Amino acid sequence: MPAFDFLLQPDNCALVLIDQQAGLAFGVESIDRQVLLNNTIALVQAARAFDLPIVISTSATKVYSGPLLPGIRELLPEHTVFDRRNMNVWEDDVVRGAIEATGRKKLLFSGMLTESCVSLPVLCAQAAGYESFVVADACGGLTKTGHEMALWRMQAHGAQVTSWAQVLLELQRDWTRHATYAAARSVIEHNGGGYGIGLRYASDMLSK
């Protein structure tokens, strides 16, 4: 079977979560905030299902933004969270070092705000030879226009735009992959809307 190295695979990508904090979520207008949180949780669940390395960074936790959002913290209770001062995680030696230490060249980005703390490291990662995948429905911008403009700029520099569901389905690709089947299916059933309902229905019908 061809390697399809251009596709996301569990052994070639890592997830970078940036500034998933309430203080920044207050400013998000590009997407419903609860939908953004739900999408991010689904993305984290997908990353855990496929055992992806996850690098988490926050900023200004004591003065404005607050801690990592509880729904995400609950999924990753023992995970190191790197706090920093600047907007661009790529300019923080500790966070950039953690990303480099994963050894993965395909990076999935999710965070707030799309116009700054997401786009700046994506542009830097592209310049450094990484392949950046911006999980657009797990990113929040100050405005819908600002969010879209930031996505367009990142794409112009070679970044690819995707969604949490596409990430999960691309990593699974074959429902006969039994090692990740149950976990991947559970993420879809709980977060995939009508598709998730359909999977649950099919499972119930087959069990009968």
Contact criterion met (CB below 8 Å) for 141 and 29: yes
Sheet containing strand 81-84, strands side by side: 81-84, 54-59, 13-18, 106-112, 131-140, 160-162
Count CA within 13 A, CB hemisphere, residue 178.
Answer: 0
13 catalytically annotated:
no
- From 13, 117, 124, 139, active-site residue: 117
What backbone phi and psi angles, to 5 degrees, belong to 112? -135, 140
CB atoms within 10 A of CB 108: 26
List the catalytic residues: 117
